[in-house]
Amino acid sequence: MRTVLGDFCFFSDFPSGNLHSIEPIKSEGSEHEFRGRIARDCEGTEHATENRSWFYFGVTGAAAGHTLTIHLENMNNQSRLYSQGYEPLVRTHHPPHAAGAWGRACTHVHTTPNSTGLSLTFSFTCTPHHTPASIVYFAFAYPYTLEDWEGLMAKWDSLHSSSHSPCKQRDEKVACSCPPDAVYMHRDVLTHSLDGNAIELLTISAVSGMQVARGESIAGLFPDPGRTRAHNFDGKKVVVVSSRVHPGETPASHILHGLVEHLLGPSPAAVAARRHFVFKIIPFLNPDGVVRGHYRADTRGVNLNRTYTAPDATAHPSTHALRTLIARLQSRGGLFMYIDLHGHANKKGCFFYGNSLSGPAHTDNVLFAKLAAMNCPTIDFEGSNFSAKNMVSKDKRGQSKDGSARVALYHLTGLTHCYTIESNYHSARKLNVLSPCAADT
């Protein structure tokens, strides 16, 4: 969308952008005031849903001292989130200088219930640095695009000549000569989405235990015959982490970004993790929704996190590929844990959803979340949920959680450590007081 209104140009025709329409409010005292609408997921198609929470758009034409007031009149009811003090994100760009950081700089933020759910109002006053060529971006939450992920990967690719460079051994006949604790990192394409975007699979470990042989073929997966597969490893269990099955839940990507930075870093904890485990990471399960600026659905209006019981290879390629990969890893006896990362708009904090098991397995299941809380200030163990009810409860649209990754993949594998980690868009309910680590004393 790109709309010119006098001196102003509103636009969302960029990756992850979302603004369906905008118009000026013409009344006394309403200078620089606008009324907008968010595009539904799959807007303009037969698959259109009622998901209307994610917005991300830019505006040019405002000058220093101008106060823009915007009313987004068709949001889903996120009143609980905004009642906790949540505000839209703002980023300014004054060409030819680099864009500034995202932050919360809006004023007069308030919501009003209406027939569609919610009207969100916010204002922003342009700084003295503003010129009509300056761009102001507004977003529902801190964006994280496919380009942001490529930037992270480029950072580590650029370190290939350093002493801490990720191992990229490619010779099938020669064993790696890197030190045992050297970082191993490999990028692959698991499958492609309906729009043709790559469903990436990132492998991270240490060189220790690495075989000369690479991963075997799996029917329907790894479609690029010219791309080398990741090496196999002896004596290491596998942790699988996935993210962004719901494209508007950007906290998931920011958590994943931090996880990857940690795993590729030099800390003793990262070295130990790589020494004992192989991490298989899928950063975008729904890249089409991310690119299109959707909140929850894919290109056909489907909530992919309800398809894991029986995903269709053609209609749901990413979830079908993940289920197939999980089944193969489990059959080889190598799967230790699966974590699916999400954002949460209602419940404060960062917390676990786990499955309801029985006996010692359930103790191990819950204990991992407890250990995570003991080592992370923001994990809310008391706010986590391991109930049988939470494995079958229905969402607002009547779809049961038994089709979610956490539940369906547990039923497929019997895996003890099979979790969803949810992170609120705004704030924690509490912060944990951590004991000193042995490495810190």
Active-site positions read 422
240 DSSP β-pair partners? 280, 338
CA nearest neighbour of 202 among 193, 212, 189: 189
CA dist 103 and 92 (Å) reads 9
Of 288, 305, 319, 285, which is closest to residue 395 (Cα–Cα)? 305
Q: Are 208 and 179 in contact (CB under 8 A)?
A: no
Question: DSSP characters for 200-220?
Answer: EEEEEEESTTEEEEEPPP-TT
d(CA 379, CA 370): 9
Task: Say if residue 334 is exposed, middle or buried (CB neighbours under 10 Å; 0-12, 13-18, 19+).
Answer: middle
Helices 146-157 and 251-263 cross at an angle (nearest 10°) of: 10
DSSP string across 369-385: HHHHHHT-TTB-STT-B
Task: For CA atoms 394, 399, 403, 406, give the dihedral sign.
Answer: negative
Q: Of 185, 79, 65, nearest to 134 (Cα)?
A: 65
For residue 161, give the DSSP letter. T
CB neighbour list of residue 220: distance below 8 Å, 6 or more residues apart? 191, 313, 320, 321, 324
How far, in Å, CA of 403 to CA of 395, rounded? 11
Q: Would strands 183-192 and 107-114 be described as parallel, antiparallel, or unpaired?
A: unpaired
Kind plus residue range of the DSSP H or E element containing 237: strand 237-243
DSSP code, position 103: B
Q: Which of 104, 93, 99, 100 is nearest to 140 (CA)?
A: 104
Contact yes or no for 425/344 (Cβ under 8 A): yes
For tokens 């547990």, the residue is: 410
Helix (H, G, I), strand (E, B) or coil at 346: coil
**Dihedral, 375, 380, 381, 383 alpha carbons, nearest 10:** -170
